[in-house]
Amino acid sequence: MDSSTSKPRLREQVRVVMRLHHYSIRTEKSYWYWIRYFIRFHQLRHPLEMGAVEVNAFLSWLAVERKVAAATQNLALNALVFLYARVLQQPLGQVGEVVRAKRSTRIPTVLTHAEATEILALLRQPYQLLASLMYGAGLRVVEAARLRMKDLDFDRQVITIHDGKGGKDRTTLLPATLISSLLERKQRIFNAWKSHEPFYQAPVSLPFALRRKYPNAPRSFEWQWLFPSTSLCPDEDGQIVRHHIHVSSIQKAVKQALHRSCVHKPASCHTFRHTFATELLRRGSDIRTVQTLLGHADVRTTQIYTHVLGQGFAGVQSPLG
């Protein structure tokens, strides 16, 4: 089989099926990455020529040779299960005994409140506001970057996260201390949008299913990005649109602020989310509430933050006092 012609056909098949089932663009790119990796691992054989045995070999190789994390191995498995079941219409069935990647038991790095505010003070806008949302609302960096005007409810002090990790929606806290800054930013963008400034003439990017359902949304104010990119780019269908601020620029800004600070911890954007959860628990919040705010499907994921706190070790004291 000619791989040069089969791969584009397969890529298009995956794309069509994923759009049909309303998968996010991030998931589509991630799944295709692992499907392509699987094909290359088996010397460009077409997936129809392979099956459960080859999938088993690939997943075991990821764990043994590449030493990937358990979550990464599961993502690769999900991509291949989707490929065979939904795209090729040949479900894999039992893959067999796969060498499983070990789950990490490391306790996440967290900041103290003083350390978090020190780093925030060293950031310029809009990165300070973005990082403040990660710390104050427990947002992932991509969730903060993808906020739209309609996602902020100032009256109820609630932020709605659409299509978060796992494709789920959730609501979380809108910090009272950020309301004035967010309102000012919203008003500034509204004035520019209302005045038809060139910067806002291009439509904003929307997932394919939403563009079809709401054809006027890309040019409406409610769907404008809270943190838009400064440049235009083509979307997956080739239309020139404005996307949200790039995640890598936020990560770079936080990294630089961390280096200028007096904080000597291996922190990142995600550390703000860890710190949000730890601070809520330290201040007496119920773990189920924290689970909901973080969007964790399983409370056991949230419980890792109780290990960070140490839970007082049931009152046990060191021999040194």
Nearest Cα to Cα of residue 139 among 125, 149, 151, 156: 151
Active-site residue identified among 127, 135, 140, 244 = 140
Active-site residue identified among 165, 170, 246, 282 = 165
Where helices occur in 65-174 by DSSP H, the ranges are 70-82, 113-121, 127-137, 141-145
Q: Is 140 assigned a catalytic role?
A: yes
Q: Is 212 assigned a catalytic role?
A: no
Beta strands in the chain (DSSP E): 152-153, 158-161, 170-173, 228-234, 240-244
Q: Is 273 assigned a catalytic role?
A: yes
Active-site residue identified among 185, 242, 244, 273 = 273
Q: Is 124 assigned a catalytic role?
A: no
Half-sphere exposure of 190 (CA within 13 A, CB side): 9
User: Could you give the 3-state DSSP secondary structure of residue 101?
Assistant: coil
CA-CA distance, 92 to 89, in Å (whole number)?
9
Half-sphere exposure of 170 (CA within 13 A, CB side): 21
Q: Which residue matches tokens 């021999």?
A: 319
CA-CA distance, 51 to 12, in Å (whole number)?
21
Paired residues of 153 in beta bridges = 158
Active-site residue identified among 148, 185, 242, 296 = 296
Q: Is 200 assigned a catalytic role?
A: no
Active-site residue identified among 19, 46, 162, 270 = 270
Q: Is 42 assigned a catalytic role?
A: no
Catalytic center residues: 140, 165, 270, 273, 296, 305
